[in-house]
Structure 1
Amino acid sequence: MTRTKNGTALIAHDVHQQLRDKILSHEIKPGDRLVEDDICELLNAGRTPVREALLRLQGEGLVSRNRGWVVGNSAPLAFRSIFESRMAIEGFATRLACERAPAEAIQELRKILEAMDRAEATSRSEVNRLNQIFHRRVVELSGNPYFVEQHERTQFQYWSLRLPVIFAKDQLAHSATEHQAILEALEKRDGDRAERLTREHIATTMRIVAEVLDER
């Protein structure tokens, strides 16, 4: 059965989304090779949409071609560029969220922070997971899908660094205070303050990572 052009595009979009999710979640890890035939079989898709999906992932910087398709891996020296990108994207996204987010969505952010407070006593991995959710949700509330896409790319590149960064208790407490301040700025619809606090929050994390790299 011959697929229409629109049908192929839809399949390519679906393949792209599935591969992208697997890469960003590290189900498919940095350095892993992506074999077109294997993807066709795994996702029940033809060669054309699979190739289109891989080309799109290449354009996003998530995969590269080196005698085949390979999942990208960020070098530690790129960490400043990654954090600078986060400051630009998340800072302005938070400003837009102040203008565009419905009140109930902002209150959902408070629930995430409350869950982080509870998780801190039991699971560092759960704190990390909720932290990612908080930041991603704020970006989503900007209403700009391109910001969401770029944010996911910087998150992938950050975790690909595989830096041995373990935040101390006082650093976690300071981060929690910064989260609360950002949330309060969102609640008050203070875009200037929300953007500034978000940039400062990410800059703090960048300094901690820089200190770890200097000690290596």
Structure 2
Amino acid sequence: MAIAKDRDQKGGFVRPSSIAASIHEQIYQRIMSLEIPPGARIPIDGLARELNVSQTPVREALTRLEREGLVRKAHLIGYSASPQLTHKEFDDLYRFRLMLEPESARQACLKLTPDTLARIESAAADMEKGEQPVDRNSRYSRFARADAHFHDEILKVADNKFVRQALNDQHIHLHIFRLMFHSRVTQEALEEHERLLAAFRAGDADGAFQAMHDHIERSRDRLAAAFE
């Protein structure tokens, strides 16, 4: 099995990342692309044989995925992929986002410094220009993670730890991207993020509120097709 490699902070020495991290990434991609369907059992022994590793890194990866809300563990049954959001949960989640994220964008805009704006812009750029994924599955799953990072950077600047924790605890972006495996979801999100960045660059707090509000509503409309 090929093990992912990372460069150190100086860009020189290349070292193998942990086997558990590599296994986590592979299972994560399968869940996000629906290769492992919602509710499907995830047998540890079967995955270990398929990935040619011991059961220990598979258990470690599944434990991490459980914390991320993507798998569940049941007594005497084992692990399974978390069920898909119901239509009501989906609607409730987007109402929740609309209550918190537009105002967070406004507050972030009011508190921006050149350094924090650069950090948000870097997170946005990473969604489009980061390390090239090897296939469509990894590209989509990587985008979901990068999207979550972009939104979290805005929450960091808004600087309300309760709002940030409430949103992060729901693992929102992982669950909504799992609803529909489609390139339209990513391309339109990039365009909406650019309108939000334009408001940040202009110091337009009301514009940032509206751009985030529109982005969340359009995201809801795109993904609602999963329930048709």
TM-score under structure 2 length normalisation:
0.59
Distance 1:120 1:73, change over 3 A: same
TM-score under structure 1 length normalisation:
0.62
What is the distance in 1 between the residues matched to 2:202 and 2:67? Answer: 33
Distance 1:140 1:199, change over 3 A: same
Q: Report the residue type matching 1:173 in the other structure.
A: Q
1:105 maps to 2:148: no
Q: Report the residue type matching 2:202 in the other structure.
A: K
Hey, what does 1:25 align to over in structure 2? 68
Shift of 1:140: 1.5
SS at match of 1:154: coil
Hey, what does 1:190 align to over in structure 2? 204
1:154 maps to 2:170: yes
1:166 maps to 2:181: yes
What is the distance in 1 between the residues matched to 2:177 and 2:143? Answer: 18
Runs of 5+ consecutive residues of structure 2 not aligned to the other structure: 1-63, 76-81, 134-138
Report if aligned partners of 1:24, 1:152 keep a CA contact under 8 Å in 2: no
Shift of 1:162: 8.3
Report if aligned partners of 1:119, 1:127 keep a CA contact under 8 Å in 2: no
Alpha carbon RMSD of aligned pairs, Å? 3.0
What is the distance in 2 between the residues matched to 1:33 and 1:101? Answer: 44
Distance 1:26 1:177, change over 3 A: same
Report if aligned partners of 1:139, 1:151 keep a CA contact under 8 Å in 2: no
Hey, what does 2:214 align to over in structure 1? 200
CA-to-aligned-CA distance 1:31-88 (integer Å, 9 cap, x gap): x259xxxxxxxxxxxxxxxxxxxxxxxxxxxxxxxxxxxx998534210110111122
Distance 1:76 1:119, change over 3 A: farther
CA-to-aligned-CA distance 1:86-131 (integer Å, 9 cap, x gap): 1221110010001113221111111122221124963222211111
Distance 1:174 1:164, change over 3 A: closer
Higher helix proportion (structure 1 or 2): 1
Percent identity, aligned pairs only, is 15
What is the distance in 1 between the residues matched to 2:222 and 2:93? Answer: 14
Hey, what does 1:126 align to over in structure 2? 142
Distance 1:78 1:174, change over 3 A: same
What is the distance in 2 between the residues matched to 1:89 and 1:184? Answer: 20
SS at match of 2:206: helix
- Length, aligned pairs only: 156
Shift of 1:180: 1.1
What is the distance in 2 between the residues matched to 1:168 and 1:136? Answer: 22
